[in-house]
Amino acid sequence: MDGKTVAACIDAAQATLKDHADEIEALDQQIGDGDHIFNLLRGMDALVALRGQLEARAFGAALELAGAKVLSTVGGSSGPLFFSLLQGMAKAAAALPEVDAGHASIDDAARIFASGVEAVAQRGRTGMGSKTMMDVLIPVAARLTEMAAAGAGAAAVLEALPQVAEEHMLATRDMLATKGRASFLGERSRGHIDPGARSSQLMIAAVCAQFAQSA
Ligand code: ADP
Ligand code: MG
Protein backbone atom coordinates (compact mmCIF):
# COMPACT_ATOMS: atom_id res chain seq x y z
CA MET A 1 0.00 0.00 0.00
CA ASP A 2 1.25 3.47 -0.84
CA GLY A 3 0.01 6.94 -1.75
CA LYS A 4 -1.40 5.60 -5.01
CA THR A 5 -3.57 3.23 -3.00
CA VAL A 6 -4.93 6.19 -1.05
CA ALA A 7 -5.62 8.15 -4.25
CA ALA A 8 -7.41 5.18 -5.82
CA CYS A 9 -9.59 4.75 -2.72
CA ILE A 10 -10.47 8.45 -2.82
CA ASP A 11 -11.56 8.13 -6.46
CA ALA A 12 -13.73 5.14 -5.57
CA ALA A 13 -15.29 6.94 -2.58
CA GLN A 14 -15.97 10.07 -4.61
CA ALA A 15 -17.67 8.09 -7.38
CA THR A 16 -20.07 6.31 -5.04
CA LEU A 17 -20.92 9.51 -3.15
CA LYS A 18 -21.70 11.26 -6.44
CA ASP A 19 -23.86 8.32 -7.52
CA HIS A 20 -25.86 8.49 -4.27
CA ALA A 21 -25.80 12.24 -3.71
CA ASP A 22 -29.56 12.83 -3.99
CA GLU A 23 -30.33 9.96 -1.66
CA ILE A 24 -27.84 11.13 1.01
CA GLU A 25 -29.09 14.70 0.71
CA ALA A 26 -32.65 13.48 1.32
CA LEU A 27 -31.59 11.41 4.35
CA ASP A 28 -29.91 14.43 5.96
CA GLN A 29 -32.94 16.58 5.13
CA GLN A 30 -35.14 14.10 6.99
CA ILE A 31 -33.20 13.98 10.26
CA GLY A 32 -30.49 16.67 9.89
CA ASP A 33 -29.94 19.89 7.98
CA GLY A 34 -29.30 18.50 4.50
CA ASP A 35 -25.64 19.47 4.20
CA HIS A 36 -23.95 16.10 4.78
CA ILE A 37 -23.45 15.15 1.13
CA PHE A 38 -22.28 18.67 0.21
CA ASN A 39 -19.76 18.61 3.07
CA LEU A 40 -18.43 15.30 1.78
CA LEU A 41 -18.36 16.19 -1.91
CA ARG A 42 -16.48 19.41 -1.17
CA GLY A 43 -13.88 17.36 0.68
CA MET A 44 -13.71 14.80 -2.12
CA ASP A 45 -13.07 17.49 -4.73
CA ALA A 46 -10.24 18.87 -2.60
CA LEU A 47 -8.76 15.39 -2.14
CA VAL A 48 -8.93 14.58 -5.85
CA ALA A 49 -7.08 17.86 -6.54
CA LEU A 50 -4.29 16.61 -4.23
CA ARG A 51 -3.72 13.46 -6.31
CA GLY A 52 -0.14 14.29 -7.34
CA GLN A 53 0.95 14.99 -3.77
CA LEU A 54 -0.86 11.95 -2.39
CA GLU A 55 0.61 9.59 -4.99
CA ALA A 56 4.13 10.81 -4.26
CA ARG A 57 3.83 9.88 -0.58
CA ALA A 58 4.04 6.64 1.37
CA PHE A 59 0.74 5.18 2.62
CA GLY A 60 0.69 6.65 6.13
CA ALA A 61 1.94 10.07 5.02
CA ALA A 62 -0.72 10.18 2.29
CA LEU A 63 -3.44 9.40 4.86
CA GLU A 64 -2.13 12.17 7.05
CA LEU A 65 -2.18 14.70 4.22
CA ALA A 66 -5.68 13.59 3.21
CA GLY A 67 -6.84 13.98 6.82
CA ALA A 68 -5.53 17.53 7.04
CA LYS A 69 -7.34 18.39 3.81
CA VAL A 70 -10.58 16.87 5.09
CA LEU A 71 -10.36 18.94 8.26
CA SER A 72 -9.94 22.17 6.29
CA THR A 73 -12.65 21.49 3.67
CA VAL A 74 -15.40 19.25 5.09
CA GLY A 75 -17.69 21.16 7.41
CA GLY A 76 -20.39 19.96 9.77
CA SER A 77 -19.89 17.34 12.45
CA SER A 78 -18.62 14.87 9.92
CA GLY A 79 -15.51 16.90 8.93
CA PRO A 80 -13.67 16.52 12.25
CA LEU A 81 -14.91 12.92 12.51
CA PHE A 82 -13.56 11.82 9.12
CA PHE A 83 -10.37 13.77 9.88
CA SER A 84 -10.03 11.69 13.06
CA LEU A 85 -10.57 8.49 11.06
CA LEU A 86 -7.78 9.32 8.61
CA GLN A 87 -5.43 10.65 11.28
CA GLY A 88 -6.00 7.61 13.49
CA MET A 89 -5.28 5.34 10.53
CA ALA A 90 -2.15 7.33 9.63
CA LYS A 91 -0.83 6.99 13.19
CA ALA A 92 -1.27 3.24 13.18
CA ALA A 93 0.31 2.93 9.72
CA ALA A 94 3.35 4.92 10.89
CA ALA A 95 3.94 2.28 13.58
CA LEU A 96 3.92 -0.56 11.00
CA PRO A 97 7.07 -0.20 8.86
CA GLU A 98 6.14 -3.19 6.64
CA VAL A 99 3.12 -1.24 5.37
CA ASP A 100 5.22 1.51 3.81
CA ALA A 101 7.59 -1.18 2.54
CA GLY A 102 4.64 -2.52 0.51
CA HIS A 103 3.98 -5.67 2.58
CA ALA A 104 0.74 -4.89 4.38
CA SER A 105 -1.08 -7.93 5.79
CA ILE A 106 -4.77 -8.29 6.68
CA ASP A 107 -3.68 -7.92 10.28
CA ASP A 108 -2.00 -4.60 9.44
CA ALA A 109 -5.15 -3.42 7.65
CA ALA A 110 -7.21 -4.38 10.71
CA ARG A 111 -4.90 -2.51 13.08
CA ILE A 112 -4.94 0.57 10.86
CA PHE A 113 -8.72 0.68 10.41
CA ALA A 114 -9.45 -0.10 14.07
CA SER A 115 -7.12 2.71 15.13
CA GLY A 116 -9.01 5.13 12.87
CA VAL A 117 -12.39 4.03 14.21
CA GLU A 118 -11.16 4.34 17.79
CA ALA A 119 -10.08 7.93 17.03
CA VAL A 120 -13.57 8.74 15.69
CA ALA A 121 -15.19 7.22 18.78
CA GLN A 122 -13.03 9.42 21.00
CA ARG A 123 -13.64 12.55 18.96
CA GLY A 124 -17.41 12.04 18.75
CA ARG A 125 -17.71 10.44 22.20
CA THR A 126 -20.01 7.81 20.72
CA GLY A 127 -20.18 4.06 20.50
CA MET A 128 -22.83 1.90 18.87
CA GLY A 129 -26.55 2.52 19.23
CA SER A 130 -26.66 6.34 18.92
CA LYS A 131 -27.71 6.20 15.25
CA THR A 132 -24.51 7.59 13.74
CA MET A 133 -21.71 6.51 11.44
CA MET A 134 -20.31 4.60 14.45
CA ASP A 135 -23.05 2.02 13.97
CA VAL A 136 -21.33 1.10 10.70
CA LEU A 137 -17.68 1.82 11.51
CA ILE A 138 -17.47 -0.16 14.77
CA PRO A 139 -18.90 -3.49 13.50
CA VAL A 140 -16.83 -3.29 10.31
CA ALA A 141 -13.64 -2.74 12.33
CA ALA A 142 -14.65 -5.57 14.68
CA ARG A 143 -15.29 -8.03 11.84
CA LEU A 144 -12.02 -7.08 10.14
CA THR A 145 -10.13 -7.65 13.39
CA GLU A 146 -11.88 -11.00 13.95
CA MET A 147 -11.21 -12.19 10.42
CA ALA A 148 -7.56 -11.09 10.60
CA ALA A 149 -7.14 -13.03 13.84
CA ALA A 150 -8.73 -16.10 12.22
CA GLY A 151 -6.28 -15.87 9.32
CA ALA A 152 -8.89 -15.08 6.66
CA GLY A 153 -7.70 -14.23 3.16
CA ALA A 154 -8.17 -10.90 1.42
CA ALA A 155 -10.95 -12.11 -0.87
CA ALA A 156 -13.09 -13.34 2.03
CA VAL A 157 -12.53 -10.12 3.97
CA LEU A 158 -13.38 -7.90 1.00
CA GLU A 159 -16.58 -9.85 0.47
CA ALA A 160 -17.63 -9.85 4.14
CA LEU A 161 -17.02 -6.21 5.09
CA PRO A 162 -19.47 -4.60 2.65
CA GLN A 163 -22.16 -7.01 3.89
CA VAL A 164 -21.50 -6.13 7.52
CA ALA A 165 -21.57 -2.42 6.63
CA GLU A 166 -24.86 -2.70 4.76
CA GLU A 167 -26.61 -4.71 7.45
CA HIS A 168 -25.60 -2.22 10.15
CA MET A 169 -26.41 0.82 7.99
CA LEU A 170 -29.94 -0.54 7.51
CA ALA A 171 -30.24 -1.15 11.26
CA THR A 172 -29.89 2.60 11.96
CA ARG A 173 -33.37 3.10 10.47
CA ASP A 174 -35.18 1.93 13.60
CA MET A 175 -32.80 3.50 16.10
CA LEU A 176 -33.48 6.53 18.24
CA ALA A 177 -30.82 9.20 17.61
CA THR A 178 -29.04 10.24 20.80
CA LYS A 179 -26.05 12.06 19.24
CA GLY A 180 -25.69 14.82 16.69
CA ARG A 181 -28.35 16.97 15.10
CA ALA A 182 -30.81 14.08 14.62
CA SER A 183 -31.06 13.69 18.40
CA PHE A 184 -32.99 16.99 18.52
CA LEU A 185 -35.87 15.13 16.84
CA GLY A 186 -36.24 12.56 19.59
CA GLU A 187 -38.68 9.80 18.63
CA ARG A 188 -39.18 11.42 15.21
CA SER A 189 -35.64 10.36 14.30
CA ARG A 190 -36.87 6.76 14.07
CA GLY A 191 -37.80 5.42 10.66
CA HIS A 192 -34.95 7.13 8.78
CA ILE A 193 -31.50 5.77 7.96
CA ASP A 194 -28.70 7.90 9.39
CA PRO A 195 -26.98 9.84 6.56
CA GLY A 196 -23.49 9.38 8.03
CA ALA A 197 -24.10 5.64 8.36
CA ARG A 198 -25.16 5.52 4.71
CA SER A 199 -22.20 7.57 3.43
CA SER A 200 -19.75 5.53 5.53
CA GLN A 201 -21.25 2.25 4.31
CA LEU A 202 -21.06 3.37 0.68
CA MET A 203 -17.43 4.44 1.04
CA ILE A 204 -16.52 1.15 2.76
CA ALA A 205 -18.15 -0.83 -0.06
CA ALA A 206 -16.38 1.26 -2.71
CA VAL A 207 -12.98 0.95 -1.03
CA CYS A 208 -13.40 -2.83 -0.64
CA ALA A 209 -14.34 -3.11 -4.33
CA GLN A 210 -11.28 -1.03 -5.20
CA PHE A 211 -8.98 -3.34 -3.21
CA ALA A 212 -10.67 -6.43 -4.65
CA GLN A 213 -10.10 -5.14 -8.17
CA SER A 214 -6.46 -4.25 -7.60
CA ALA A 215 -5.65 -7.48 -5.70
P1 ADP B 1 -24.07 18.18 10.90
O2 ADP B 1 -24.89 17.19 11.66
O3 ADP B 1 -23.25 19.06 11.79
O4 ADP B 1 -24.85 18.91 9.87
P5 ADP B 1 -23.07 16.41 8.83
O6 ADP B 1 -24.38 16.60 8.18
O7 ADP B 1 -21.85 16.62 7.98
O8 ADP B 1 -22.94 17.31 10.13
O9 ADP B 1 -22.95 14.92 9.39
C10 ADP B 1 -24.03 14.30 10.04
C11 ADP B 1 -23.59 12.89 10.41
O12 ADP B 1 -22.53 12.93 11.36
C13 ADP B 1 -24.68 12.10 11.10
O14 ADP B 1 -25.50 11.47 10.14
C15 ADP B 1 -23.94 11.11 11.97
O16 ADP B 1 -23.68 9.88 11.28
C17 ADP B 1 -22.60 11.78 12.20
N18 ADP B 1 -22.45 12.21 13.59
C19 ADP B 1 -22.99 13.28 14.19
N20 ADP B 1 -22.55 13.37 15.47
C21 ADP B 1 -21.73 12.31 15.67
C22 ADP B 1 -20.95 11.82 16.78
N23 ADP B 1 -20.91 12.45 17.96
N24 ADP B 1 -20.22 10.70 16.60
C25 ADP B 1 -20.21 10.05 15.40
N26 ADP B 1 -20.91 10.46 14.35
C27 ADP B 1 -21.66 11.57 14.46
MG1 MG C 1 -25.92 17.92 8.30
Q: What is the pLDDT along the chain (215 residues), one digit of tens a residue?
A: 999 999 999 999 999 999 999 999 999 999 999 999 999 999 999 999 999 999 999 999 999 999 999 999 998 999 999 999 999 999 999 999 999 888 899 999 999 999 999 999 999 999 999 999 999 999 999 999 999 999 999 999 999 999 999 999 999 999 999 999 999 999 999 999 999 999 999 999 999 999 999 87
In short, whether 43's Cβ falls inside 6 Å of ligand 1 is no
CATH number for the domain that contains residue 175 = 1.25.40.340
Residue 26 CB partners (closer than 8 Å, separation 6+)? none
Ligand 2 centroid–CA 88 distance in Å is 23
**CB contact at 8 A, 155 and 215:** yes
Q: What whole-number distance in Å separates Cα of residue 96 and Cα of residue 58?
A: 12
- The total number of structural domains in the chain stands at 1
User: In terms of residue numbers, what domain contains 83?
Assistant: 3-214
Ligand nearest to the CA of 193: 1
The C-alpha atoms of residue 194 and residue 155 are separated, in whole angstroms, by 29
Q: Could you tell me the distance, in angstroms and rounded to a whole number, from the CA of residue 124 to the centre of ligand 1?
A: 9
Nearest alpha carbon to residue 168 among 206, 198, 188: 198
Count the neighbouring beta carbons within 10 Å of the beta carbon of residue 23. Answer: 14
